[in-house]
Amino acid sequence: MKIHDLPKTLPLYATNGVILLPRAQLPLILQEGDEKSIIEYAFQAGHRLVGVVQSNPDGGHFQKGCVGRIIAFQDGVQTFVTLGGLCRFRIEEIRSEGPIKKARVSYEGYEDDLKESRIDPFVDRPRLLNLLKDYLEDQDITANWEEIDHASDELIISSLSMACPFKPIEKQALLEIPSLSERCDMMIALMEMASPHLKGRSQVLH
């Protein structure tokens, strides 16, 4: 898929403290009629694409998000949807309010999001993993370390960015930051701020 294949207008799905990143997956449980209407609109439009934006605690929502394709859908008492992240975007204009909020968006500057994942030689994976075990224990979060050991740098960093209980403004910064290595560095800084006693920890996880 190329940038010009993406629609200029997207239905917006506003989340609370949740972000979507390119090449990552976001499972959602839809319970309200308005949320289901957004998904129905994406199906009716034929592209199955939804613009995921994070609600701003100060009001409204942030102006940058990530477009996700509906890759799994199960309707019933609860509606389960999985979105696959494609490309980040910037909102240029809100086109409509009401049950389905739509926005004119720009993908300029995010062309690389649609390319295959590449290795970033500046990712400090050892330092990140050295901190991660103790951080997750502090936050009472369980993890499958066998999967983590075999996962790519991008999968680890994207999953942590989306799953860790950081503040909305911090998650938004992780979404907007340009490169994977910079996102890794910010992740390390956020973990150290959340658990100051981890700073400088050099334990190796093997």
Question: What's the pLDDT tens digit per position in 36-52?
Answer: 889 999 999 999 999 99
User: Are the beta carbons of 199 and 44 closer than 8 angstroms?
Assistant: no
pLDDT of residue 203: 42
Listed residue (105, 86, 98) closest to 9, CA to CA: 105
Average pLDDT for the chain: 89
167 CB-near residues (< 8 Å, 6+ apart) = none
User: Are the beta carbons of 50 and 38 closer than 8 angstroms?
Assistant: yes
Give the pLDDT confidence of 74-99 residue by residue, as tens digits: 987 788 999 999 999 999 999 876 67
- Dihedral angle over CA of 165, 167, 170, 175, nearest 10: 60
| Claim: this prediction has a pTM higher than 0.95 | no
Count other C-beta atoms under 10 Å from residue 174's C-beta. Answer: 21
- CA 18 vs. chain centroid, Å, equals 7
Structure tokens given for 188: 């390390």
CA R_g for the chain: 18
The answer regarding whether domain 3-114 maps to CATH 3.40.1360.10 reads: no
